[in-house]
Amino acid sequence: MFYGFNPTWILLMVVSVALGGITQAYINSSFRRWSQVPLTSGLTGAQVAARVLEANGIDASGYGVQEISGTPRPRVRIQAVGGNLSDNYDPRDKTLNLSEGVFGASTVSAAGVAAHEAGHAVQDAQGYVWGRLRGALVPVASLGSRAAWILIIVGLLLGAASGVGYSVVVLGIVFYAFAVLFQLVTLPVELDASTRALKALEGTQTLEASQLGGARQVLTAAALTYVAAALISLLQLLYLLGFLSRD
């Protein structure tokens, strides 16, 4: 069990690397292409994100909750961060972090990415169920992704056919299963954020029809990376479970 270079495992690794590379190349290509197309409105990524937030009743000027006419209004801070496509929304401190190529850029790509991250902030403000579930899984998924393969390898070294080695391998697979579950839950969260982004961009008339199509392409490419990652992880998990069933 698990010993040697199993042809199925090698094929799975080749498919994983190829699928990951193709999807990453597609998103990079789409982002670069639409980064060359300026927004007719002249809005920067940060301004687009603020417009999406405001359209959903969220104040984009700072932290906490602001009282408006006696009604609590969620507040999100938009800030620039380093890196390439490092954009993210942090629900812990209500910050929407936009990369250098998005924050101050006035392009279709920047608008799409900024609106997508703003979509996550809207999910948080509205208590989106899948988003809350994903947040709850973060600690265990983080631990699982780090510990899974270490445990599996240790189990193999101890001898997977032995009682102790087998138990350690099983524990590693359980940890990996939580990481896979996290990636599966991430899919509806990301797809919903993109749907919200496109609706907001259209509803606020931030983009023209032709430019909206470009933003949709960028967001579709980004979604495919999550789909590919989840598929790869699920296939690896099924492979590991298949070996357990043969033991």
Q: Which residues are catalytically annotated? A: 117
DSSP per-residue string spanning the chain: ---S--HHHHHHHHHHHHHHHHHHHHHHHHHHHHHTSB-TT---HHHHHHHHHHHTT-B-SSSSEEEETTEEEEB-EEEEESSSS--EEETTTTEEEEEHHHHS--BHHHHHHHHHHHHHHHHHHHT-HHHHHHHHHHHHHHHHHHHHHHHHHHHHHH-TTSHHHHHHHHHHHHHHHHHHHHHHHHHHHHHHHHHHHHHHHHHTT-S-HHHHHHHHHHHHHHHHHHHHHHHHHHHHHHHHHHHHHH-
**Tokens at residue 117, please?**
């991250």
Please report, to the nearest 10 degrees, the dihedral formed by the alpha carbons of residues 156, 158, 162, 164 taken in order. Answer: -110
Going by C-alpha positions, the residue among 98, 93, 97 that lies closest to residue 64 is 93
